[in-house]
Amino acid sequence: MSDERIKQVSAIRRAMIRPELGAICGTILVFVFFFMIAGDSGMFSAEGVQNWGVVSAQFAIIAVGACLLMIAGEFDLSVGSMIGFAGVVIAILSVQWGLPIWLSIIAAFVVCMAIGALNGFLVIKTGLPSFIVTLAFLYILRGLTIWLSILTTRQTIIGGVKEAAEGDPLAWLFGGVIFKGLFQWLGDIGVIETFTRGSRMGQPVVDGIPMLVVWALGLVIFGHWLLTKTRFGNWIFASGGDAQAARYVGVPVNRVKILMFMFTAFCATVFATCQVMEFGSAAADRGLLKEFEAIICVVIGGALLTGGYGSVIGAALGALIFGVVQQGLFFAGAESSLFRVFLGGILIFAVIMNTYIRRMITGER
């Protein structure tokens, strides 16, 4: 009983029609745009690439967590506050209490993932929308962060982490760069520019791949693999697509959702730790608005706000678009406030396009 009304789909169309399509088009557009208006401004030199690469990587780290959580059917609005909170926890434990950095970092991960689990637990047990529960934690965590840092240091910025991190066995994972030798060699043979004077004379302007970028790539690859290739990934889709239908066939929906809240908290803590290691300080106002930026990346990447559909690769491209636009406008010498206008425009455009693509794939009406 083959149905004559189903048209055969061409291989090209099948390869094209995927959740990331909108983000792929957007990425190409953004790159072409900035090649044209800022191609000669140094935006695409090694240093320029590092500049927007790091910014994009920051977005990507939190976008991966937000993406998997959104596909599982939930939101986390406490990501930004969690970033501030995790940073202050690390700084207080290491600088104020004198604990080694590695222990402070582990403690921050444990505490933040426990809060993530609490978020998930409350959402599951109360049946309230995660929007409300995590909105509460947006305020609770931000308030606690400011209170804790003023209580222990009488200020909202805690410095001295860099000194404490010297020679630490874990801190290098979150700060600094890798492949220094390779980049030095690239500098020596002239592929990358080198400093021509000053104390770093002869060193390449980009001295390696920042750990932040390594984390971003690692998380994107892990998230993509988990979502598309594993049993757990199938459960993430199922939990967000229709939790009740998933329960009826034995998918442990509650466990999946709580684990995704914990993973989002993990990503936020990675972000916070990298930031603390880079600046050598923690501040109570770090991570402001990051929750929305993460959600924007995910939505540009083709995910459905109501869950059950999306792509980690798409979210990563969303983060890339975000980073390139933010830094590109700076390189182009545009008024920096225009960044938000541009971003809002991209957001609307991406969502309309993604809605159309999704209808083609899923037959939803």
Q: Which residues of the shown chain bind other proteins in the complex (CB under 8 A)?
A: 1-3, 6, 8-9, 225, 229-231, 233-235, 237-238, 241-242, 244-251, 304, 308-309, 361-364
**Whole-Å CA distances, 2 to 7, 8, 142:** 11, 12, 59
CB of 73 to other proteins, least distance (A): 11
Cβ nearer to other proteins, comparing 32 with 360: 360
CB of 243 to other proteins, least distance (A): 10
Could you give the CA distance from residue 193 to residue 49 in angstroms, rounded to a whole number? 13
**Whole-Å CA distances, 39 to 18, 23, 206, 334, 361:** 30, 22, 19, 14, 36
Cβ nearer to other proteins, comparing 225 with 292: 225
CB of 17 to other proteins, least distance (A): 11
Cβ nearer to other proteins, comparing 36 with 249: 249
Cβ nearer to other proteins, comparing 174 with 237: 237
CB of 252 to other proteins, least distance (A): 9
Tell whether the torsion through CA atoms of 299, 302, 305 and 307 is positive or negative: negative
Cβ nearer to other proteins, comparing 235 with 271: 235
Helix (H, G, I), strand (E, B) or coil at 15: helix
Could you give the CA distance from residue 344 to residue 341 in angstroms, rounded to a whole number? 5
CB of 2 to other proteins, least distance (A): 5
Q: Name the token pair of 345.
A: 């425009």
- 252 residue type, one letter: P
CB of 30 to other proteins, least distance (A): 28
Q: Name the token pair of 45.
A: 């030199």
Could you give the CA distance from residue 269 to residue 110 in angstroms, rounded to a whole number? 10
Could you give the CA distance from residue 241 to residue 239 in angstroms, rounded to a whole number? 6
CB of 321 to other proteins, least distance (A): 24
Give which of 216, 279, 280, 267 is closest to 52, Cα–Cα.
216
**Whole-Å CA distances, 201 to 187, 208, 209, 264:** 11, 16, 19, 41
Cβ nearer to other proteins, comparing 260 with 320: 260
Cβ nearer to other proteins, comparing 232 with 330: 232
